[in-house]
Amino acid sequence: MKDRLVGNVLTVCFACVGGVVGHLGFGLLLNQGFYAMVLPGGLAGLAAGIPRSRSLVVPVLCGLLAIVAGLLTEYRFAPFLADGSFKYFLAHTLDLRPLTLLLIGLGGFLGFWVPFRRLIPGQPDTVPQRANESE
């Protein structure tokens, strides 16, 4: 039980660290003229794929964290001119450019998929019968 919890918590923590590194990396690339909005979510997913989790909830949570990392990155580097508040940004998220929404969504998909494909199936609750035992 303890190993399962440690693996799940490590996966989420690695996703958070990956999202922060992706946020910082996006800023560096933006200064060089590159628009890499997939980076925060993608790095969150890649980092979350390092440890292995046992719960399906963890990849879903990592995907949501990846989307949040992408949205926070977009807000920090390109807030709306009409109102720079985060509340206004969230209310008008669907007014972002289609490419931005696509890249944030792709980052969210990577944030979900990488930890999901590394998922360890849970142990069965009952002891399986031996092959030579009758049912």
Q: Look over the chain and give the mean of its residue pLDDT values, rounded to a whole number.
A: 88
H or E segment and range at residue 131: none
Q: What pLDDT does residue 127 have?
A: 44
Nearest alpha-carbon partner for 53 in 115, 108, 114: 115
Specify the DSSP class assigned to residue 51. S
Confidence of residue 126 (pLDDT cuts 50, 70, 90): very low
Confidence of residue 130 (pLDDT cuts 50, 70, 90): low
Q: What pLDDT does residue 133 have?
A: 55
Q: What pLDDT does residue 3 have?
A: 77
- pLDDT at position 135 over 60: no
Nearest alpha-carbon partner for 65 in 111, 125, 6, 114: 111
Q: What is the pTM of this model?
A: 0.84
| Integer angstrom CA distances of residue 33 from 26, 28, 30, 77 | 10, 9, 5, 13
Q: What pLDDT does residue 118 have?
A: 80
Q: Are 15 and 65 in contact (CB under 8 A)?
A: yes
Q: What pLDDT does residue 6 have?
A: 86
Query: Could you tell me which residue, 4 or 42, shows the higher pLDDT?
Result: 42
Per the structure block, which two tokens stand in for 53? 């989790």
Q: Are 36 and 19 in contact (CB under 8 A)?
A: no
What are the pLDDT digits (tens) for 13-71? 999 999 999 999 999 999 999 999 999 999 999 999 999 888 889 999 999 999 999 99
Q: What pLDDT does residue 132 have?
A: 61
Residue 70 and residue 66: Cα distance in Å, rounded?
Answer: 6
Q: What pLDDT does residue 129 have?
A: 55
